[in-house]
Amino acid sequence: VSEGSMFVSRALEKILAEKEAKRPPHGQLRRACQVALGESGRADPPGWEEGTVAPPKANFIEADKYFLPFELACQSKSPRIVSTSLDCLQKLIAYGHITGNAPDSGAPGKRLIDRIVDTICNCFQGPQTDEGVQLQIIKALLTAVTSPYIEIHEGTVLQTVRTCYNIYLASKNLINQTTAKATLTQMLNVIFTRMENQSFQLYFSFSPLVAEEKQVTEMAKALPAVETADTILSGSSSENIQTNGIPDDGQSVSSTDNLVNNFTGSDISGHQAAAKFSHVLQKDAFLVFRSLCKLSMKPLGDGPPDPKSHELRSKIVSLQLLLSVLQNAGPVFRTHEMFINAIKQYLCVALSKNGVSSVPDVFELSIAIFLTLLSNFKTHLKMQIEVFFKEIFLNILETSSSSFEHKWMVIQTLTRICADAQCVVDIYVNYDCDLNAANIFERLVNDLSKIAQGRSGHELGMTPLQELSLRKKGLECLVSILKCMVEWSKDLYVNPNHQTSLGTYKPSEQEIAEGKCLDSGGRRSSVSSLDSTVSSGVGSVGTQTAVPDDPEQFEVIKQQKEIIEHGIELFNKKPKRGIQYLQEQGMLGSTAEDIAQFLHQEERLCSTQAGEFLGEGSKFNKEVMYAYVDQLDFCGKDFVSALRIFLEGFRLPGEAQKIDRLMEKFAARYIECNQRQTLFASADTAYVLAYSIIMLTTDLHSPQVKNKMTKEQYIKMNRGINDSKDLPVEYLSTIYEEIEGKKIAMKETKEYAITTKCSKPSVANEKQRRLLYNLEMEQMAKTAKALMEAVSHAKAPFTSATHLDHVRPMFKLVWTPLLAAYSVGLQNCDDTEVASLCLEGIRCAIRIACIFGMQLERDAYVQALARFSLLTASSSITEMKQKNIDTIKTLITVAHTDVFMQLHCSLKICRTLFF
């Protein structure tokens, strides 16, 4: 008798010996145990031994017979019997005595192992489940996932993870909670490692890439589990598993937070239809990852969250697990299109909400996940990273009411980002040198400069110690940025042969041929050759989005961007001046169609000014307005939806005549696009109705209006507008209800842009500040979420910077706010750490200016040093302090190490020191 039979016999005998098993309700269990004991005495259970391949059908039934007593034992609800059964199943799986490859006679298309795992999971019946049984379930499921002898996939894998997840949330035993959480981490590690190893082994099995691609293709064809994204995300049968465990009481995770959700096909559209999995292990990992992303998106309840609540604990553990997965991500995960799209459409949208959470743990985890994404996935997430910086990080720094804790965590994160030279240069190249992106680098330095100078510290309600800590961190970030620039351009400093009169370096043809070009070496942030090869199978996006690094081209784009930004600034004050300036600079066409397109596409235009411009009565303004409306497509849209589209791009002017012109053109365009409609007798009907909807929106949603219009009054108001006839009452009622539920407004992003530009309300006390901050954070999250969803399917080219020449325009862009921060720090603060940081920053700035021959910038920083050395007549400070002595030392160091080659500057320093 084998070891497997011995496990079975002992477990069955132990079950039969239990008092509970002898009671009448368990008669079927007793009989099943006795039959199995009689059979197990003869031979090993057929179909249970490792290596059993396609046994005859009779053996499948017998295999079911041997599993039946354990299935019934698990359903007995007797903790001792259940524990014995689970312990035996765990041992049989662990030692390879169960393979479970035999088909499940009770469920066509399923295997016996799926039924076994399902039985184990069903032993968990919510918080009331015996604590010992909970541990046995965790142990058995971990064995099922990690065992090399069995294979479970798709829905069964999800079920194991979900059950452990539910045990973690529902168990009242701290040891069980800790064990379940550790088990979840281990399960995920195994699932994702197996996926990576499978691709790794495939790579080494076939050295020629052609053979590898052929193998991947053949495997994809052979596996029935391979599906397209649309199939998976439309709720495939493998995912439709009934939730077990915690009852649906509104506080549980069973129905809301379970890991198997039925998603509609609209969750991911046809953008991914072509992406496929080359192996079922990739699909397993994808399903688990996507489910965790969905869990992290679950909203918390209103009011202060309870740390022990299911909702908060679920969110925190899902974020922790996601962070673990991302930090350990291999080449397949980092490059496969399905995983990249899941990050864009689920994880990034979740981060847009969690990134402004008032719960410190959630906020901190979100930041950690963002840092990991920035480190490992930035080439795929250009637009998402922009949203996170622009709408969350920088807004928190700029918002006067934001808490010290949030500012501190953000600036701690920025300290890490600013210490990475590749990341700093990439931010400048990909955002500040992109016509359609925000100036992240410039805005970041300006915000840090304000913090380093201690501006607006008191209105935050910070203590002096907190303000000093924040100032130091701001200075540390600014110094790190300059250190990155020095590091990036160090080759020009080290090797004098690379110096030219302009500070630029162009390698000779011979150097390029010999591979000595410094610009192309050591600075590329890309996947290794193995990573890119392993992930080059089906569905990999690899480095498709990478674009070449051309410093001259980026500098041209940056100049064009500055012209456009100045034109927009002028437009937002006086539209005609802005348009004229852009036309003079050759950045905008002269036709009405060109200007109309500009108004549609440029999000940074002031919506109020755009509305005033479109409503003007001059001939040219009317032409632009007509072109603007004609560029909108209302075909097939219902009337209210079309009106929303029309009014989301600008704010309606206040003058009735201007509104009249806009509504008249809108009505004509709507009828033109929907000529087959029979509801409106003419464009006049649409015009009057559009006007009435605007009035209704104002009436129902304006706080100034006390007595709101009723539905009956609205219907009465619109009588006889359809060529002296009435529009259907049901139609007008529907319009009223829709406007009542949601007002007609501009895009959320534009609404927020306007509210943030309004004058800052005065904050009388800490309570008011917190209330205001919560409102601002809520709006911030709403805007970030809308933007993140808008770019969830977008692909934007990302450049991994390699050239040294980027440092010159970077420094030219930010040298003034940097100098202001260092000067104010030296002048107003006697703290030795602040002085040390300021002097280090000035020294780095002088080195960059010298490397690139930037005389104006170099002289400004040298003069600042000279002024604070107290050795010049212009110095307003009279008492010599330690910081002034340190300044003199820095001046001497700079003269010795940086400006010895700059004769003019050296003479200045000599005069300062000796005269």
* Domain final residue pick, 741, 770, 796: 741
Instruction: Give residue 139's identity as a one-letter amino acid code.
Output: K
Q: Are residues 736 and 811 in the same domain?
A: no
Q: Are residues 61 and 191 in the same domain?
A: yes
Surface-to-core class of residue 24, CB atoms within 10 Å of its CB (0-12 exposed, 13-18 middle, 19+ buried): exposed
Cβ atoms of residues 746 and 646 within 8 Å = no
Q: What pLDDT is attached to residue 444?
A: 93
> What's the CA gap between 538 and 229, in Å, rounded?
13
Q: What does pTM read for this prediction?
A: 0.74
Surface-to-core class of residue 41, CB atoms within 10 Å of its CB (0-12 exposed, 13-18 middle, 19+ buried): exposed
Q: What pLDDT is attached to residue 443?
A: 92
Burial 624-647 (b: 16+ CB within 10 A, else e): bbbbbbbebebeebbbbebbbebb
Q: Are residues 53 and 166 in the same domain?
A: yes
- Write out pLDDT tens, residues 52-79: 444 443 333 345 556 777 778 788 878 8
Count CB atoms within 10 A of the CB of residue 9.
16
Q: Are residues 52 and 132 in the same domain?
A: yes
Q: Are residues 726 and 865 in the same domain?
A: no
Q: Do the domain assignments include residue 651?
A: yes
Q: Do the domain assignments include residue 101?
A: yes
> What's the CA gap between 802 and 488, in Å, rounded?
9
Q: How far apart are the first and last CA of the chain?
A: 102
Measured in degrees and rounded to the nearest 5, phi and psi for residue 749 equal -65, -40
CATH at residue 731 = 1.10.1000.11
Count CB atoms within 10 A of the CB of residue 222.
8
Q: What pLDDT is attached to residue 907?
A: 47
**Geometric angle at alpha carbon 333, from 328 and 338, rounded to 5°:** 145
Q: Do the domain assignments include residue 701?
A: yes
Nearest Cα to Cα of residue 3 among 44, 32, 53? 44
Helix, strand and coil percent figures for the chain, each rounded to 5: 65, 0, 35
Q: What pLDDT is attached to residue 50?
A: 41
* Domain final residue pick, 716, 741, 766: 741
Helices and strands (H and E) in the chain: how many: 42, 0
> What's the CA gap between 691 and 686, in Å, rounded?
9
Collapsing DSSP to helix, strand or coil, 103 comes out as strand
Q: Are residues 737 and 811 in the same domain?
A: no
> What's the CA gap between 677 and 669, in Å, rounded?
13
Q: Do the domain assignments include residue 11?
A: yes
Q: Do the domain assignments include residue 446?
A: no
Q: Do the domain assignments include residue 441?
A: no
Cβ atoms of residues 632 and 669 within 8 Å = yes
Which amino acids are annotated catalytic? 655
Instruction: Give residue 375's identity as a one-letter amino acid code.
Output: S
Nearest Cα to Cα of residue 871 among 856, 857, 884? 884
Q: What tokens were used for 781?
A: 């999250």
Q: What tokens were used for 616?
A: 């003007």
Give the residue ranges of the chain where pLDDT is below 50.
1, 42-62, 206-274, 495-545, 748-762, 900-904, 906-907, 909-910, 912-915
Write out the residue range of the structural domain in which residue 902 sits.
Answer: 806-914
Q: Are residues 722 and 812 in the same domain?
A: no
Q: Are residues 675 and 815 in the same domain?
A: no
Q: Do the domain assignments include residue 831?
A: yes
> What's the CA gap between 405 and 450, in Å, rounded?
18
- Write out pLDDT tens, residues 238-280: 333 333 333 333 333 333 344 433 333 333 333 343 357 778 8
Q: What pLDDT is attached to residue 525?
A: 38
Q: Are residues 160 and 26 in the same domain?
A: yes
Q: Are residues 732 and 812 in the same domain?
A: no
Q: What pLDDT is attached to residue 461?
A: 65
Q: Do the domain assignments include residue 876?
A: yes
- Write out pLDDT tens, residues 752-807: 443 444 444 445 556 676 677 777 777 877 888 888 888 888 888 888 888 888 99
Measured in degrees and rounded to the nearest 5, phi and psi for residue 725 equal -115, 170
Q: How far is CA 485 from CA 518, 701, 803, 850, in A?
A: 15, 52, 12, 13
Count CB atoms within 10 A of the CB of residue 524.
12
Residues 6+ apart with CB under 8 A from 393: 410, 413, 414
> What's the CA gap between 728 and 571, in Å, rounded?
44
Instruction: Give residue 247's identity as a one-letter amino acid code.
Output: P
Under DSSP, the state recorded for 804 is: G
Collapsing DSSP to helix, strand or coil, 111 comes out as strand
Q: How many domains does the chain have?
A: 3
Nearest Cα to Cα of residue 697 among 656, 735, 658, 731? 735
Q: Are residues 11 and 148 in the same domain?
A: yes
Q: 906-912: which pairs have CB atoms within 8 A and are 24 or more residues apart?
A: 908/859, 908/862, 908/863, 908/866, 909/862, 909/866, 912/866, 912/869, 912/871, 912/872
* Domain final residue pick, 175, 206, 237: 206
Measured in degrees and rounded to the nearest 5, phi and psi for residue 689 equal -65, -40
Q: What pLDDT is attached to residue 552?
A: 86
Q: Are residues 115 and 194 in the same domain?
A: yes
